[in-house]
Amino acid sequence: MQSETKSHADQLTSPAGLPVTALRFVGDISSTSKEAVLGAYQELPKEKVKLVLLDFSKVEYINSSGIALIIQMLIEAMGAGQKVRAFGLSAHFNKVFTMVGIPKYAALFATESEALAGL
C-alpha cells in the first residue's frame, strides 16, 4: 500500500550565499501526489525562487505517474528560468531518472551538501 505524499519548502543558503528553496518530499510519489508535487512547486514565487533543490531522501517509491508529475514540474521550472538539482534518490531511482532523461532538466546528487556545492 502506498503512503501519502507530503511536501514542504525550506529556505536555505548556498555556500556562495545565494538563496535556495528546498522542496522536501515524504512518502510515495504517484498519480495521487499531484498536489504535493506540482501544487507545492507552483506555490513558490517564481520571481524570487531561482534555485530549487528537490529532496527525495524520504521517498521510498515513485511510479511512472509520479515520474510524469516530476517531469512536468521540471519543464515548468525550466520555462521559469529556474535551476533545479535533486538529491536523496535510491540507486534504483537514480538509474530510472537517468533513463527517462531527467538530468536534462535537473542535476542529480547523492546528498544535500553535494547538491548545494557550486551554487
- Residue 16: inside a domain: yes
pLDDT of residue 118: 85
- 117: CB partners within 8 A, 6+ apart: 15
Number of domains in the chain: 1
CATH of the domain at 48: 3.30.750.24
pLDDT of residue 3: 82
Instruction: Per residue of the chain (119 residues), give pLDDT as tens.
Output: 668 999 999 999 999 999 999 999 999 999 999 999 999 999 999 889 999 999 999 999 999 999 999 999 999 999 999 999 999 999 999 999 999 999 999 999 999 999 999 88
- Domain range spanning residue 11? 6-116
Residue 48 CA: distances (Å) to CA of 17, 18, 24, 43, 106? 15, 11, 18, 12, 19
Report the C-alpha gap between 52 and 49 in whole angstroms: 7
- The model's pTM is 0.95
pLDDT of residue 13: 95
- Residue 95: inside a domain: yes
- Residue 75: inside a domain: yes
- Residue 94: inside a domain: yes
